[in-house]
Amino acid sequence: MIDVAWAQFTPWTALAGGAVIGVAAAILLLLNGRIAGISGILGGILTTSPTDIPWRAAFVAGLVLAPLAWMMFAGLPPIQINAGYPVIIAAGLLVGIGTRYGSGCTSGHGVCGISRLSPRSLVATATFMAAGFITVYVIRHLIGGF
Amino acid sequence: MAFTLFSLIAGLTFGIGLLLSGMANPEKVLGFLDLAGQWDPSLALVMVGAIVVGIVAFRLAAKRGQTLLGGDVRLPTKSDIDIRLVVGSVLFGAGWGLAGFCPGPGLVAMGAGEHKAVVFVIAMLAGMAVFELLEKRRSQS
């Protein structure tokens, strides 16, 4: 049986935040005609033609500046990172290689791909979710944490 | 110019959505990925909220065939479900489960001044560069 952490469950901010993420993807799609796939936008900076760099860099800058914009109106929500530096580095390398090899991440496949009912993105999302569930299971319940 | 500006606005909006939803917090993400522990289902609702809005947006874009600015809509052309898609997604999911970071939240947490997020983003960029090197070698052989 699944033991739900009701004390941590935040349905309304999760739904609202998700809708805002959807609006962000809609802005990029309807105004610029581009997919809000963050790994693709970021990875493209390393490879595409120079004329393509400004919009990609601007999108990434928007993400990085979001906490500053938020702090003009309210205190930042908690950002708790328990993993140590070696784990963080391994995670970053895996995420970098994996998202490029699999052509997308939680935003490109998970949000945009599923929104346009792409079977390829459905498979990718199911796969990385399953890999995430298994990884956390192994770390927390088999190894007992780092 | 407008293209770059709208891109910045989209990125800012995306980041605010990640902060509001709780997804910028790795511990919250790991709470969702921990099915066998105390499970926090919030992340599933983030996906629901985003996809409901996203479906409307993609339908609109498909109907119009061009952007509101009159430009072209560029959708991914790949449709094959191949070994690269699955292997890449497994590697990504493993990295996501290790630290609770995927690319967007990593960038947002970096903007919030989290040192570990800066290290995560540098490692992620290094991973992407490794991918490009491997691809270059593959295309030459």
- In this complex, do B109 and A81 lie within 8 Å of one another by their Cβ atoms? yes
- pLDDT at res. A6: 95
- Does residue A20 have a pLDDT over 90? yes
* Residue of A109, A23, A76 whose CA lies nearest to B12: A23
Distance from the Cα of residue B19 to its chain's centroid: 14
- Does residue A85 have a pLDDT over 80? yes
The reported pTM is: 0.97
- pLDDT at res. B85: 98
- pLDDT at res. A93: 98
* Residue of B57, A15, B112, A123 whose CA lies nearest to B104: B112
- pLDDT at res. A104: 96
Query: CA-nearest residue of chain B to A67?
Result: B112
Nearest-angstrom CA–CA distance, A107 and B9: 16
DSSP 8-class letter at A74 = S
Of B14, B42, B61, the CB nearest to A24: B14
Mean pLDDT of each 10-residue bin along chain B, 141 residues long? 95 98 98 96 98 98 93 91 97 98 98 98 98 91 76
Interchain contact B133–A (C-beta under 8 A):
no
- Does residue A102 have a pLDDT over 90? yes
Q: Which amino acid, residue B127?
A: G
- pLDDT at res. A144: 84
- pLDDT at res. A43: 94
Distance from the Cα of A136 to chain B's closest Cα (Å) equals 5
- pLDDT at res. A51: 87
Q: Do A22 and B49 meet the contact criterion of CB atoms below 8 Å apart? A: yes
- pLDDT at res. A1: 77
How many CA atoms are closer than 13 Å to the CA of B86, on its beta-carbon side?
4
What percentage of chain A carries pLDDT values higher than 90?
A: 92
Query: CA-nearest residue of chain A to B135?
Result: A101
Contacts of A11 in chain B (CB under 8 A): 42, 45
Show which of residues 102-131 on chain B sit within 8 Å of chain A, judged by CB atoms: 102-104, 106-114, 116-117, 119-131
Distance from the Cα of A67 to chain B's closest Cα (Å) equals 5
Show which of residues 16-75 on chain B sit within 8 Å of chain A, judged by CB atoms: 16-28, 30-31, 33-58, 60-62, 64, 66-69, 71-75
Of B73, B80, B95, the CB nearest to A94: B95
The per-residue DSSP string of B50-83 comes to: HHHHHHHHHHHHHHHSB-TTS-B----------H
Q: Do B113 and A66 meet the contact criterion of CB atoms below 8 Å apart? A: no
- In this complex, do B16 and A66 lie within 8 Å of one another by their Cβ atoms? yes
Identify the residue among B27, B58, B110, B114 best suited for mutation to test binding to A, counting A beta carbons within 10 A and taking the highest: B58
Contacts of A17 in chain B (CB under 8 A): 17-23, 46, 49
